[in-house]
Amino acid sequence: MRIRFAAIALLAGLLFFLSIFLGSVYVSPAEVWQSLTGGEAPLLSQKIVTAVRLPRALTAALGGGGLAVAGLLMQTLFRNPLAGPSVLGLSSGASLAVAVTAMGGTGLVFGYYTQTIAAVIGSTAVLLIILAVARRFADVTVVLIVGLMLSFFTSAVVGLLQSVADESSLKAFVYWGFGSFAGVGTAQMPVFAGPVIAGILLSALLIKPLNALLPGEMHAKSMGVNTGRLRLAVMGITGMVTGVVTAFCGPVAFIGLAAPHFARMTFGSVNHGIILPASLGIGAVLGLLCDLIARRPFADTGIPLNTVCAFMGAPVVIYLIFAGRRKKWLI
Amino acid sequence: MPMLSYLTLYVDRLLSMRFVSAFLFFGLVLIFASCGEPGADPAFRAEGKAEAMPVHHSEGLRIEKTRDGFLVEVRNPRDTAEIYGTYRLSRTKKSSAGGDETVIRIPVQRAALNSTTFVPFFEKIDAHGVITGVSYASRVTNERVKAQIDAGETLEIAGGDGIDTERLLMSAPDVLMAYMYNASDFSKIEDLGIPVIMNMEYAESTPLGRAEWVKLAGCLIDRYDDAEELFEVISRTYGNLHDLAREADYYPVVFSGSKYESKWFTPGNRSFVAQYIRDAGARYAFQHVDGQSNVELDFESVLSTLVKADFWGLIVSDNNEFKLSSLIRMEPQYALFNSFKKGQVFVCNTAKSDYFGDAVLEPHIVLSDLIGILHPDLLPGHDFTYFRPVVVDVTS
């Protein structure tokens, strides 16, 4: 198991450095290294490395990792392998909120962080609805369908806003929808990284109760877990992490859904003590990898992040579901 | 310095305050009190000998000459209560971005442009080699800048997926000239130490208003007088052509735009396109359609207007020659229009002329094309540059 964790960490480290060494302009590896270690690189190279590439790689790693943890928490809470930020409508809720601030002409009510706050509210609101449904109906299919319908509903409202929006705000929103890890600069990093890291750390406190929840709510209760409070904690963490990542990076698809499955497959375990850190690591790897492909280093233009995520994520999830059914990796 | 300019500037400053209603009365009192005393404005006081430069046509641009440069204020031309930025262009102070006031050290040696329409503002006042970064490099038609792009001296800083920060940094600009759409956020670029200055020419409602933004480029390279002189020539020529068009004995009805699905997309009556049509001695068919940018109308409800009008002008992008038959291939219903039947259609083919570049600073040439088309008797033998009548290759 240690070897597998080491491999994930190594892969994440490798991809992290790769994304710092590769970019749309050429900076020699020696200069990149000097910029990172505080050596005497030309000012221009230093800026490119420390102010552009480093925050972007950090965002990809943290965003991917954060979404993966959020996905895992949701899959356990809903006891549903298909749960994930982008499937249950959380991203759509955040999208709707961002669309309202971007195209609805509400202006920047909370100043610079309007979009972030709106996205958090949007994703948490959808999560609340989903959770209310989940409490009433034990059947996971109902929950999934409601989530799906909520996605359709929010898309319809977004479509309505788009049809009346002026060209420029429409364009801005469409670009946001493509997803990108480039939106966080050095100045915004604390606002982005703070809640995401806090969410990840807080989720580590939930390992035991989450494990107790695996066989079912009754079992968790008999183990002395306050399921109501657990639900609230999971909701708060996933809403915050998904909201913040979505606000800064757009509705990033599939990473949150796929990473926990990868983790369970790699470690052949459902113990959160193992798959929580594993999901975090694999999420970071996926975030960095998708970003690297989307950027197409040295090419003139990149491709949307979500295109890459969907191309890689959808087939992987299909495979995992099939393979997982056979080998009982699934929860 | 004419009194009136001071007064308008003063009123604008007051109106820009949020508490307009409460202070309007006091504002009026102050205006009357300060008549004959322009030094009462805080900005003027601070500068000692500041002087507001005349801006005649642009709604969004304000320039004051200061002791060591210029004080430039950029507003939304479509809503002048909205200030996009105040920029201190200084020959002595160091550039600093962000904060309440952006300081830009002039003359700038290197500039990155986030729109190809900004290219002529620099090139036409002979600021060659200043443009080190430009968006959509493939759309640049200026020969000199094209050569710089091929030689790697000018980098493409933005394409389909927005500004590429790495390339922007690589182009090492002293300033980024950009336009504001919705609530564009340039704070990330300012954090990198690159001052960003807004150029809102696209939102101006008159062709001369767009062209006047050449003065902004003039301030940046510290050759204001050259820019002003160029603009004077442009506006004088434009004015003369407008006077000529007024002599026409018949004002034809002209419309613009095209059909997409069940909608007709057309510039509104306060767009610079509508202004061109009016200035060329014609009536704009959608005079009643309020709007500064493109407006979508229900095709069926405007069909009678479209059918009756005399001329149709449109902008196309076609690598081949655009002919009347090309229109019918786009949409068979176009054959209903009188303008089509009479072959009175004119186009600007952006694949063959620099409508989104040079034309911004050549409104007089665009206007002469339009007069040459709408009133050929006024400009006999006119040589067309941007707009030209389509080749009539079908008869109805």
pLDDT digits (tens, 9 = 90+) for A256-275: 988 998 898 888 888 999 99
Do residues A118 and A101 touch, judged by C-beta distance below 8 A?
yes
pLDDT of A66 higher than 90: yes
The tally of CA atoms less than 13 A away on the side-chain side of residue B340 is: 21
Residues B297 and B336 grouped into a single domain? yes
Residues B276 and B223 grouped into a single domain? no
For position B131, which CATH number holds? Answer: 3.40.50.1980
* Angle formed at CA B196 by CA B16 and CA A175, multiple of 5 degrees: 95
**d(CA A172, nearest CA chain B) in Å:** 8
The percentage of chain B sitting over the pLDDT mark of 70, rounded to a whole number, equals 85
Nearest neighbour of A24 by CB, restricted to B164, B293, B294: B164
Q: Which of B202, B234, B266 is the last residue of a domain?
A: B234
pLDDT value at position B4?
Answer: 41
Mean pLDDT to the nearest integer, A306-325: 79
Mean pLDDT to the nearest integer, B303-309: 92
pLDDT value at position A80?
Answer: 77
Determine the residue type at A226. N
ipTM tops 0.90: no
First to last CA, chain A: 20
Q: How far apart are CA A304 and CA A82, in angstroms?
A: 24
Q: Which of B200, B234, B268 is the last residue of a domain?
A: B234
Residues of chain A in contact with residue B192, where contact means CB-CB under 8 angstroms, are: 47, 51-52, 185
Length of chain B: 396
The percentage of chain A sitting over the pLDDT mark of 70, rounded to a whole number, equals 91
Residue found under tokens 């249950």: A88
Q: Do A52 and B183 touch (CB under 8 A)?
A: no
First to last CA, chain B: 60
pLDDT of B207 higher than 90: yes
pLDDT digits (tens, 9 = 90+) for A7-64: 999 999 999 999 999 888 888 888 888 888 887 878 888 888 888 899 999 999 999 9
Residues B258 and B200 grouped into a single domain? no
| Closest by Cα among B91, B89, B158 to B118 | B158
**A307: alpha, beta or left, given left = phi > 0 and alpha = psi -120 to 50?**
alpha
The structural domains of chain A, ordered by start, are 2-327 (1.10.3470.10)
Q: Burial letters for A155-192: b for 16+ Cβ neighbours within 10 Å, e otherwise? A: beebeebeeebeebbbebbebbbbbbbbbbbebbbebb
Residues B142 and B262 grouped into a single domain? no
Domain count, chain B: 2
pLDDT band at A127 (very low <50, low <70, confident <90, very high): confident
Residue B142 within any structural domain of the chain = yes
pLDDT value at position A330?
Answer: 52
Residues of chain A in contact with residue B160, where contact means CB-CB under 8 angstroms, are: 301
Q: Do A167 and B293 touch (CB under 8 A)?
A: yes
pLDDT digits (tens, 9 = 90+) for B121-149: 999 998 889 999 999 888 888 889 999 99
Among A73-87, B93-107, B296-310, name the one with the lowest average pLDDT.
Answer: A73-87
**d(CA A169, nearest CA chain B) in Å:** 5
Q: Do A53 and B162 touch (CB under 8 A)?
A: no
Q: Do B182 and A108 touch (CB under 8 A)?
A: no
Residue B67 within any structural domain of the chain = yes
Q: Do A166 and B182 touch (CB under 8 A)?
A: yes
Residues B172 and B221 grouped into a single domain? yes
pLDDT digits (tens, 9 = 90+) for A132-170: 887 787 676 787 788 888 888 888 988 888 887 777 677
Residues of chain A in contact with residue B193, where contact means CB-CB under 8 angstroms, are: 47
pLDDT value at position B387?
Answer: 95
Q: Which of B234, B259, B294 is the last residue of a domain?
A: B234
Q: Does A53 touch chain B (CB under 8 A)?
A: yes
Residue B173 within any structural domain of the chain = yes
Residues B230 and B253 grouped into a single domain? no
| Closest by Cα among A265, A264, A258 to A315 | A258
Nearest neighbour of B172 by CB, restricted to A44, A185, A302: A44
Question: CA gyration radius for chain B?
Answer: 23
Residues of chain A in contact with residue B184, where contact means CB-CB under 8 angstroms, are: 172
Residue B268 within any structural domain of the chain = yes
* Other C-beta atoms lying within 10 Å of the C-beta of residue B248: 16
**d(CA A264, nearest CA chain B) in Å:** 36
Range of the domain at B104: 60-234
pLDDT digits (tens, 9 = 90+) for B20-56: 333 333 333 333 333 333 333 444 444 456 789 999 9
Residues B188 and B293 grouped into a single domain? no
Do residues B354 and B119 touch, judged by C-beta distance below 8 A?
no
Do residues B311 and B252 touch, judged by C-beta distance below 8 A?
yes
Nearest neighbour of A25 by CB, restricted to B166, B191, B293: B166
Q: Order of strands across the sheet with B345-349? A: B283-284, B253-256, B311-316, B345-349, B387-389
Residues B163 and B280 grouped into a single domain? no
Q: How far apart are CA B23 and CA B42, in angstroms?
A: 17
Encoding tokens for residue A224?
Answer: 């002395």
Residue B128 within any structural domain of the chain = yes
**d(CA A146, nearest CA chain B) in Å:** 34
Which residue in chain A is spatially nearest to B185 when comparing CA positions?
A112
Residue B254 within any structural domain of the chain = yes
Residues B224 and B281 grouped into a single domain? no
Nearest neighbour of A52 by CB, restricted to B161, B166, B172: B166
Q: How far apart are CA B201 and CA B58, in angstroms?
A: 8
Q: How far apart are CA A312 and CA B95, in angstroms?
A: 45
Q: Do B161 and A178 touch (CB under 8 A)?
A: yes
Residue B9 within any structural domain of the chain = no
Residues B222 and B156 grouped into a single domain? yes
Residues B266 and B293 grouped into a single domain? yes
Residue B203 within any structural domain of the chain = yes
Chains A, B: CB pairs < 8 Å:
65
Residues B263 and B291 grouped into a single domain? yes
